[in-house]
Each structure stands twice: as C-alpha cells, then as structure tokens.
Chains A and B, each alone.
Chain A
Amino acid sequence: MKDYEIVIGLETHIQLNTETKIFCSCKADSWGAEPNTNICPVCSGLPGVLPVLNAETVRKGATLAAAMYAEVNPLSRFDRKNYFYPDLPKGYQITQFDEPIGKGGYLDLRMSDGTTRRVRIHKLHLEEDAGKTKIEHGTRLVDFNRCGVPLVEMVTEPDLRSGEEAAQYLIQLRQLLRWIGVSEADMERGHLRCDANVSIRERGSQVLNPKTEIKNVNSIDAVRQAIGEEAKRQIELVESGGKVRSYTLDWDADTGKLSMMRSKETEADYRYFREPDLLPVCLSETEIQEIYAGLPELPMARRDRFEKDYQLSPYDAEILTSERSLSDYYETAVQAYTGEAKSVANWMMNDLSRLLNDLGKTADQLVLKPEQLARIMRMVDEGVINAATGKNLLKKVEESGRSPEAIVEQEGLGLIADSDALRSQIESILNGNPNEVASFRAGKESLMGWFVGQVMRSTGGKADPKRTRELLQELLTKE
C-alpha cells in the first residue's frame, strides 16, 4: 500500500452570543423554547419587512477576526445567497460573499509532540442562520426560531492532516471563542458546528484530489472518528482501483457511520448579489483600533508566558490556560501568594479544579477568591494550619463565604505548635505505649511514622507535624 496523506479543511459555523438576532430584535438564543415562539415578521420572512443590522454582531465578528490574526475589513458588505428550502423563509440567506468582515488569518495549533501547525483561514464572514425542519409522522415541520441567529462562518484552508489535528483545531477554536467572549461555543447546543472536507493524496504530492464533505460532525469525538472513517474509506477505494467522487456525506454520531447525501459534482448556483436592503458595513479606523485594544492576551501567548514566567511544565501551562478565567485566577493568586508560582499551580490543578468540577463552576464564579487561596497557602507554609486543613478550607470558604482566617479561628483549626501542650500530649502517648517505645529504642526507627500518626490522631490532626517529629525525636532518644 502506498503512503497516503490526509488533507482536511474544516468549515465551522459559530453562533455569536449577542442579545438579539442579527437583523431583528428577537432574542438570539432560543434554547429550550417551543418551536416558532421566538420569531417576528423579519426573521420569518413576511413580505414588506426589512433587515436592520445588529451592530453588536459586527463588533463580535470583527473581534473574532482580530483574534484569528485576520485583517478586519473597514468596509464589508452583505449579499443574498438565493435558494429554496422551507427552513429559509425569505428564500435567500443574507450572508457576506466577496467583501466579508475578515480577510486571511490563522490559528496555530500546538500538537502533542510539541510542534506547531499553522491552520490558515480561507473565509471569515457574518451571516444569518436558517431555521430547522424535520419530518414527523410523514409531515414536514418547520421551526423558524433559529432564523436570523448571528453566525460567523469560518472556513480553513486544507491545512489539517489527521482527525486528531482537526479535533485539536476545534478544541483550540472553542477555547478561543470563549476566551474572547464572542460565543458560548457549546457544541451540544449547536453554538459551534462543523463540516469537514476530506481528501487523500500520496505523501509528498501537492495536488488536491476530489474531496468529500462530511456534514454534522458536531462534537470533538465525531470530528476525530468521522475523518478517520472517511480517510480509511477513501484509501481502500483508491487502493482497490476506485476513484473518490465529490459527495456530501452525513455523519451519524449514534451509529458512527457515514452515509451519502448527494453528489456535489454539479455545484448549486446561489446567484449571489448585493443585499440591497442593507448599507455597507463601515468600521472606522478608531473602531478597529478599539477592537484590537479590547482583545485580551490570547491563550497561546499566555500559555507560552506561563511556561516562561512561572516555570510551569507545558502540561500545567496548558491546563491553567484552558480557560480564560482560570488563567486569570491563577495569575491573581500567584501575585497575592508571592511564593513559588509552581505551588499555586499544584493547588489549582488538584484541589481547586476538583472543587470547580464538583460545583460545575468556572473560576470567576467562585466565592473563594484567588487572594484567599493565596492566604490559605501561606497559612500552611507558616505552620498555622496543616496542609490537609488548608485543603478542606477551600471548600469551607466557598460554601460559607467567610474568610479563611475566621474559619480557622472559630473552628480551632490552628495547629498545636505550643511546645508544652504538645510535649505533654506526646508524653502521655509514650507512657501508654511502652512496648513500641522499647522497640524504637532498640533500633526500630521506622516506628517514628506510627508515633506521628498517634499524635495526629489524639490531636485531631492539629499537631504541627514538623514540631511533633522534633519532640518525638527528643523524648524517644532521652533515657
């Protein structure tokens, strides 16, 4: 068998998280709403009504373009894409054809082997979503709720080389969308939808062979699997002397199977022309500058900086920058803590992330503030409380909203560092266990751990472990 390379381009539709739809004042999000309850004459295509552009969609679209390192076009235009379908009430979709909001751009993917793959963006434009239609008991039903939901359509160049890379692209895109706050990017809710174009070629070749388009690969796993399946099918086909034909395929996530939808060899003619009901979209130099100025540090840059500034491992840096508020939390905690940044990372990667998972919260939603985390860590360092108490404190602060210091004080969680109190406690333990004392003194020094455990148990874990060891050593070696 020849050595094949898989060539993949992804077409994504990103639902912008604006308050209202792109051309009317209906709510943008209809999740959970009854069919056709979030519609108006504009988005349901009644005659005589006109679209009015929601400026927020332009701002968010431009923000995404800027974050993708695309050029934000100061002048862009809307066009009509004409076709008939019952979920398209006007009989045309308002979209941007040849003068879109963004031009060019790329997303750098950090691959697991440490290399970076640059995925170039071929198209980035604003458009309205269509509705939904389904057939139930032989009747075709139409729901217009989704009509007019603002979308950015973003299409990559054929720069991806495996299902895994495609999955990585989606993961990093989803992270970026949430990071810059333009989309909820919830794939289950259709905020981020994906179609994949797949072809194969002999490794080393530069030709682009006929491709198939897989529709509805709407989860990370689906992208990985569907592309894998399709590449396998194409390779087997070519190996057995067949030819790949341009088809649209449908991915069924439940069965994990691809099915042919229609031939793509005769492209539909959408008769694009300028939307005469809308004016050109103009962004002034100042507005574009404001968009760039408003961009936060992007995830890749922050990840690199975390590795460098805080000496984090690539893994830790990746986890801590997986989400913007988590990374903000980390930096605030590091600054408040003033100790080893790596320790903060450890606390967050383990105990804090468990808390986040349990509560289903993001870092910015926590009652426990990063400064409080830093203070708890310092209390542990200074021996005011032990590490276990510290970790329990996270949950207590989160649940009660009280300060960590107050909880330690009121619940008497502070360590018994007072030598006299601890000494008499230890003496009574030694007196109560003469056999173990004798064994220790006879050379079984491994019993030290057992004695520490006894002390901890009798003090309810409040004994300062360092001080306990010192006192035990002193008393056990004393004749």
Chain B
Amino acid sequence: MSINNLSAFEIAEKVRQGELKAVQVAEAALAQIKAVDGQPGSLNPAPLSAEEEGKVHAFIQLTEDLALTQAERIDKLVQEGTDPGALAGVPIAIKDIFCVKGTTTTAASKILANFKPPYTATPVQKLIEAGGLVMGKVNLDEFTFGSSNESSAFQPATNNPWQPEYVPGGSSGGSAASVASEEVALSLGTDTGGSIRQPAAFCGVVGLKPTYGRVSRLGLIAFASSLDCPGPLSRNVRDSALMLGVIAGHDPKDSTSSVHPVGDYLKALEQDVRGLRIGLSPDYEALYYPDLESGELQRQSIQKEVQEAVYRSAEVLAKAGAEIIENVPLPNTRYGIPTYFVISRVEAASNLHRFDGVKYGYRTPQDVADLSELYRRSRAEGFGQEPKLRILMGMYVSAAEYASDYYQKALKVRAMIRDDFDQVFAPQGQYRLDALLTPTTATTAFKRKAVYGNSVLMQYSDQMTVATNHAGIPGLTLPGGLDEAGLPIGIQLIANDFREDLILRIGHTFEHLTQDEPWRKIKPQVLRAEVK
C-alpha cells in the first residue's frame, strides 16, 4: 500500500488513530511530487528535456516548511490525545489564486509574481485549522482566465497526467493534475464558469462547484465576483464531501457568503438514490454557438463517447432505484457562454483595475514620463494576452454606449437561465427534479496548442458547466468512464441551491455501483510509468 493513493478520509482516520504519522504523509507526498512533477512553473523556465516534457508540472511553489511544521504539530496533538481535526495530515494543493500568508500568491501572472499577501484566504485557513497540510501552490490559467492552463505566465504549464501531450483543463488544471497524479489527496480550486469541473473531468477526478456563497471568497483573487466559487477537487466523492464540510460556512468578512446552515455531507452519503428524481436534458447534448458571419446559432453534437457515458450512468442510477426523467427542457442553457462572455469580462476588467503598478506587484522598470505611462507600461508588460483580451471586452460591453445592448441584456439572460433551473427543481412543478445528470464537458481533454490562441473556442469548453455558475447552484463532476483514446470522461450532477448533499449522495452511489468496472482499474500514465 502506498500512502499517496489513500483517500483524504483514510489518511485523516489513520492519522487521528495514530496508525500513520502526519510527517510520514507529508514526506510521501513530497516524494511523489519530486518523482512526477518535474520543474515548477516559472517566469523564466529552463528548456525542457524529453523527460521533463512528460512530467505533470502542477506546482508553481512548494511550501515544504509549512507542510512539515503543520505535520509535526498534528502528530504532537495526536500524541497528546487532542483531536487534530477532520483533515488531519491530509496533503492539499492550493490553486495559486488563493492568498496564503507568507507565500507568494501569483495568480499565475507576471503582474503578481512578487506579491506576498499579509493574510490567508478563509477556505485555506479552515483547511489548516482542520489539520490539512498545505503542500504548495499549483498552476492555473493566468488569473483563472482559461480552460487549458496554457495561459499561465508560469511555464511549463501543467500537463494532463493521463497523457502529457494533452491539457489538464483549466483553470484549476494544476489542482486537478496534482490530485490525479497522487501528489496530494485534495486540492482547493475555484470555479467561475467551470474551472473546477472541466479540469476535474479532463483529469479523471472529482470536482465540486458549491452553491454561490457556500464557501467564502475572502482571500480569493477575484475573477468575476458574482460567479466565483471556491470548491474541492479529490479522487473520490467522499473526499469532496469531507472537504466541503470543512470549508463551507458563513464568513463575516465576505458579505456574499451564506448563513444557510452547513449540511452534514458525509452523513448524506449513507443514503442511496432510491426515489430520487434525476433529469436528462436534450439541451445538454449539443454545443450551440453563433456563426461568426451570420450570427445564426449552430448546433454540434457532443463527443459520442461522452454522451454514451451519460446514458450509461443514468441506467446505473435507474437500476439502483432512481427515477430518470427524460426530455427536461433547459432552453436558455445554450446562451450560457455568450452571457458569460459579457458578465464575467465586465467584472474581470473592473477587478483587474487595482493592478496598476502603484502599490504592489509588477511595475515597469522603464523610465516613464507621467502617471498614465506608468499605468500603460506596467499593465502592458505585466498582463498576459488573456487578461488583456478580457479587459478590452469587459470595458467595451460595459461602456455607457453599449451597456444596454450587452451588459444589461446579459443580466436578463442570466435571470432566464436561473429561471430554467427553478422550473425543473420546483417541488410543485412539472418535473420536481432532485438533480440533473449531464456531461461535464462536450469532449474529453484536447491536445496542447490545439485550442490555445482561440479565446472563443476555448471558452466553449465551459458550455456544459457555465449555466450553474449563472444560476448560482451546485454542480459535481465525477469520472464516468474513459474514451477510446484512454482519456477520462466526466459526468455532471446538478442540484438546487444548497443541495450539495443530494449530488454528493448520487455521485457516491454511482461510484460504489461502478467500482468494479474495468475502466476504474486504469491509472493515469504518469502513475503507470512510475510503477514500471
């Protein structure tokens, strides 16, 4: 048995019972990172050897001292007979968009490469207080703006542990890859349009976007404040349930965090799916996108194997006693991406205003004639291409002249998307669903450089996930099989506000029912190579 492939739940249990030392766990995790991760992301990367090309490159920064100090503290508590917490000794990777006191917090951008926050993000703080070991900061798309990790200013970008020539997805690509390659048991990611679920699906792990406001955003460097949700990535559903229970809850320092009581998510897993009404929607069987010339909406079916995995999963759940409701209409889901293009860019452009070279972060080293040149140069040199595109777009669609055509209209469509979900979850409605079952992504992982550079196409990889961000409701992705190329397929479960318990319970049941299926035995390539 290797420590590294234990689940978070198992590690914490063993550490709390004294069967395993937290320091041992930390050392095993560090050894695994050393074995599979390769050189960390950097602003000035060395050329990669052939061997390095095949590594995961999830980490930007290791926080070895932080992890070992915490591990020693945990072991001491156990020795004293004090409960060290629900995540005692569990190695965790933090997406480098969360502030952690004393570490640099880069957002994978040159403009923040030297930024050391004087505070720790609330969800990170909660993980530490529950006994978790912060192993380091993992890579992401710059400022979380992307779906492949390739836009990070810290190169090499993360690879997909299943097949390193594929992207891990994004923006929480480092998170998903670090969990999939057994470097850590858990990772804290963020999801604004699908940034937890899409990489989790691409890397064959579990990822949960909680209800908006369920987890505090304090200390999360904002992308789109009305959509951002911190959440867990893990190798099984139970670990996500465990981690959500730790990080969820009201934070007096985040006005938008909810006071709704936090559920007992682990206990919810004890129930099966009998009697639950689970919907399938034709609106999640194709991508819809406007033709660039005519503006007409085009339809393209999703990857066949992904669609089949969804149907197969529905059958598994039906056999276990769930009621599958077909043809559930969610007609406005198809407008999710254009709407997101507008709303998220407007908020992003504003949130990025503060990076101006005046107070912290990157400032141009060149002589400048005046203040506006200082702004222009610092921002031009500090931001990568993706933030620049988003700033331009955000400024355009919120300008006084255009706001009513774009931003105000997008807010209306957002309300319509929410209304679709309200209809199907309404307890007195026609559908009375407990959950929806959909694909997480339209395709499995794509190759590096295949999409990067086409900002619009890249955005469409969030089509299946973004509607839940607009609506603020929770979505869970979990592995549902492998495609012909041997790449993971993600299936998604969606529920109403604060019903994370339901989707975790359904996901956990599905995992249990499919545990002996052959695809479950196949490991990511980086782990297979390691075994040799």
List the interface of chain A (C-beta within 8 A of B).
41, 44-53, 80, 82, 84, 86, 89-92, 140, 142, 269, 271, 273, 276-279
Q: Is the CB of A140 within 8 A of B117?
A: no
> Which residues of B sit under 8 angstroms from A80, Cβ to Cβ?
350
Which of B231-239, B249-257, B452-460 forms part of the interface with chain A? Answer: B249-257
Chain B 336-357 near chain A by CB (<8 Å), digits 1 or 0: 0000000000110110111110
List the B residue with the shortest CB-CB distance to A86: B358
Main secondary structure of the interface of A (DSSP, over half): loop
What is the CB-to-nearest-CB distance from B503 to chain A, in angstroms, rounded to a whole number?
A: 25
What is the CB-to-nearest-CB distance from B350 to chain A, in angstroms, rounded to a whole number?
A: 5
Give the residue of B221, B253, B355, B359 whose beta carbon is less than 8 angstroms from that of A44. B359
List the A residue with the shortest CB-CB distance to B360: A46
Chain B 252-280 near chain A by CB (<8 Å), digits 1 or 0: 11111000000000000000000000000
In order of increasing CB-CB distance, the 5 nearest A-B pairs are A91-B353, A276-B226, A276-B225, A271-B398, A47-B221
> Which residues of B sit under 8 angstroms from A44, Cβ to Cβ?
359
Give the residue of B217, B359, B371, B395 whose beta carbon is less than 8 angstroms from that of A50. B217
Chain B 394-413 near chain A by CB (<8 Å), digits 1 or 0: 01001111010001000000
Q: Is the CB of A52 within 8 A of B219?
A: no
Q: Is the CB of A50 within 8 A of B398?
A: no
Chain B 89-101 near chain A by CB (<8 Å), digits 1 or 0: 0000000001100
Give the residue of A48, A90, A279 whose beta carbon is less than 8 angstroms from that of B256. A279
Q: Does B495 contact A (CB under 8 A)?
A: no
> Which residues of A sit under 8 angstroms from B255, Cβ to Cβ?
50-53, 277-279
Sampled A-B contacts (27; CB under 8 Å): A41-B119, A45-B359, A46-B117, A47-B105, A47-B115, A47-B354, A48-B117, A48-B119, A48-B218, A48-B221, A49-B119, A49-B219, A49-B253, A50-B218, A52-B253, A82-B349, A91-B352, A269-B399, A269-B400, A271-B346, A271-B350, A273-B350, A273-B407, A276-B347, A277-B255, A278-B255, A279-B256
Q: Is the CB of B253 within 8 A of A50?
A: yes
> Which residues of B sit under 8 angstroms from A279, Cβ to Cβ?
255-256
Distance A273 CA – B401 CA, assembled complex (angstroms)? 13
Q: Is the CB of A89 within 8 A of B354?
A: yes
What is the CB-to-nearest-CB distance from B113 to chain A, in angstroms, rounded to a whole number?
A: 13
Q: Does B222 contact A (CB under 8 A)?
A: yes
Kindly list 6 other residue pairs between chains A and B, CB separation below 8 angstroms, not including A45-B359, A86-B371. Answer: A47-B221, A48-B220, A50-B253, A82-B350, A86-B358, A269-B401
Q: Does B179 contact A (CB under 8 A)?
A: no
Q: Does B28 contact A (CB under 8 A)?
A: no
Distance A53 CA – B256 CA, assembled complex (angstroms)? 11
Give the residue of A41, A89, A273 whose beta carbon is less than 8 angstroms from that of B118. A41
Q: Is the CB of B222 within 8 A of A47?
A: yes
Most buried by B among A51, A52, A271: A271
What is the CB-to-nearest-CB distance from B221 to chain A, in angstroms, rounded to a whole number?
A: 4
Main secondary structure of the interface of B (DSSP, over half): loop
Most buried by A among B105, B352, B358, B407: B358
List the B residue with the shortest CB-CB distance to A275: B225
Distance A41 CA – B99 CA, assembled complex (angstroms)? 12
> Which residues of B sit under 8 angstroms from A46, Cβ to Cβ?
117-118, 359-360
> Which residues of A sit under 8 angstroms from B99, Cβ to Cβ?
47-48
Q: Is the CB of B225 within 8 A of A92?
A: no
What is the CB-to-nearest-CB distance from A121 to chain B, in angstroms, rounded to a whole number?
A: 24
List the B residue with the shortest CB-CB distance to A45: B354
What is the CB-to-nearest-CB distance from A282 to chain B, in angstroms, rounded to a whole number?
A: 12
Q: Does B112 contact A (CB under 8 A)?
A: yes
Which chain B residues in 332-389 approach chain A with CB under 8 Å?
Answer: 346-347, 349-350, 352-356, 358-360, 371, 375
Knowing A84-B375, A91-B356, A269-B400, say if A50 contacts B226 (CB, 8 Å).
no
> Which residues of B sit under 8 angstroms from A278, Cβ to Cβ?
255-256
> Which residues of A sit under 8 angstroms from B253, Cβ to Cβ?
49-50, 52
Distance A84 CA – B374 CA, assembled complex (angstroms)? 12
> Which residues of B sit under 8 angstroms from A84, Cβ to Cβ?
353, 356, 375
Q: Does B121 contact A (CB under 8 A)?
A: yes
Distance A49 CA – B107 CA, assembled complex (angstroms)? 14
List the A residue with the shortest CB-CB distance to B398: A271
Distance A273 CA – B98 CA, assembled complex (angstroms)? 25
Distance A473 CA – B219 CA, assembled complex (angstroms)? 92
> Which residues of B sit under 8 angstroms from A142, Cβ to Cβ?
358
Distance A45 CA – B118 CA, assembled complex (angstroms)? 13
> Which residues of A sit under 8 angstroms from B352, Cβ to Cβ?
91
> Which residues of A sit under 8 angstroms from B119, Cβ to Cβ?
41, 48-49
> Which residues of A sit under 8 angstroms from B350, Cβ to Cβ?
80, 82, 91-92, 271, 273
> Which residues of B sit under 8 angstroms from A271, Cβ to Cβ?
346, 349-350, 395, 398-400, 403
Give the residue of A48, A92, A140 whose beta carbon is less than 8 angstroms from that of B219. A48
Most buried by A among B255, B355, B400: B255
Distance A48 CA – B225 CA, assembled complex (angstroms)? 10
List the A residue with the shortest CB-CB distance to B394: A271
Q: Is the CB of B222 within 8 A of A89?
A: no
Q: Is the CB of B353 within 8 A of A47?
A: no
> Which residues of B sit under 8 angstroms from A91, Cβ to Cβ?
350, 352-354, 356
Q: Is the CB of A140 within 8 A of B371?
A: yes
> Which residues of A sit under 8 angstroms from B107, Cβ to Cβ?
47
Distance A80 CA – B403 CA, assembled complex (angstroms)? 14
Distance A142 CA – B360 CA, assembled complex (angstroms)? 13
What is the CB-to-nearest-CB distance from B323 to chain A, in angstroms, rounded to a whole number?
A: 37
What is the CB-to-nearest-CB distance from A90 to chain B, in angstroms, rounded to a whole number?
A: 5
List the A residue with the shortest CB-CB distance to B370: A140
List the B residue with the shortest CB-CB distance to A52: B255
> Which residues of A sit under 8 angstroms from B349, Cβ to Cβ?
82, 271
Distance A49 CA – B122 CA, assembled complex (angstroms)? 10
> Which residues of B sit under 8 angstroms from A140, Cβ to Cβ?
371
What is the CB-to-nearest-CB distance from A369 to chain B, in angstroms, rounded to a whole number?
A: 44
What is the CB-to-nearest-CB distance from B468 to chain A, in angstroms, rounded to a whole number?
A: 17
Give the residue of B105, B118, B252, B356 whose beta carbon is less than 8 angstroms from that of A52. B252
Distance A91 CA – B351 CA, assembled complex (angstroms)? 8
Distance A142 CA – B356 CA, assembled complex (angstroms)? 14
> Which residues of B sit under 8 angstroms from A82, Cβ to Cβ?
349-350, 353
List the A residue with the shortest CB-CB distance to B118: A41
What is the CB-to-nearest-CB distance from B225 to chain A, in angstroms, rounded to a whole number?
A: 4
> Which residues of A sit under 8 angstroms from B222, Cβ to Cβ?
47-48, 277
> Which residues of B sit under 8 angstroms from A41, Cβ to Cβ?
117-119
> Which residues of A sit under 8 angstroms from B117, Cβ to Cβ?
41, 46-48
Q: Is the CB of A90 within 8 A of B400?
A: no
Q: Is the CB of B353 within 8 A of A92?
A: yes
Distance A92 CA – B346 CA, assembled complex (angstroms)? 13
Distance A271 CA – B353 CA, assembled complex (angstroms)? 12
Distance A273 CA – B220 CA, assembled complex (angstroms)? 21
Distance A80 CA – B400 CA, assembled complex (angstroms)? 13
Q: Is the CB of A90 within 8 A of B354?
A: yes
Most buried by A among B117, B252, B254, B354: B354
Distance A261 CA – B317 CA, assembled complex (angstroms)? 70
Distance A44 CA – B119 CA, assembled complex (angstroms)? 14
Most buried by B among A52, A82, A142, A276: A276
What is the CB-to-nearest-CB distance from B254 to chain A, in angstroms, rounded to a whole number?
A: 5
Distance A52 CA – B254 CA, assembled complex (angstroms)? 7
> Which residues of A sit under 8 angstroms from B358, Cβ to Cβ?
86, 89, 142
> Which residues of B sit under 8 angstroms from A273, Cβ to Cβ?
346-347, 350, 398, 403, 407
Distance A122 CA – B34 CA, assembled complex (angstroms)? 65
Q: Is the CB of B112 within 8 A of A47?
A: yes
Distance A277 CA – B99 CA, assembled complex (angstroms)? 17
Knowing A271-B399, A277-B256, say if A49 contacts B218 (CB, 8 Å).
yes
Distance A271 CA – B221 CA, assembled complex (angstroms)? 21
Distance A462 CA – B15 CA, assembled complex (angstroms)? 95
> Which residues of A sit under 8 angstroms from B356, Cβ to Cβ?
84, 86, 91
> Which residues of A sit under 8 angstroms from B226, Cβ to Cβ?
276
List the A residue with the shortest CB-CB distance to B251: A50
> Which residues of A sit under 8 angstroms from B354, Cβ to Cβ?
45, 47, 89-91
Give the residue of B121, B252, B395, B398 whose beta carbon is less than 8 angstroms from that of A48. B121
Distance A254 CA – B401 CA, assembled complex (angstroms)? 41
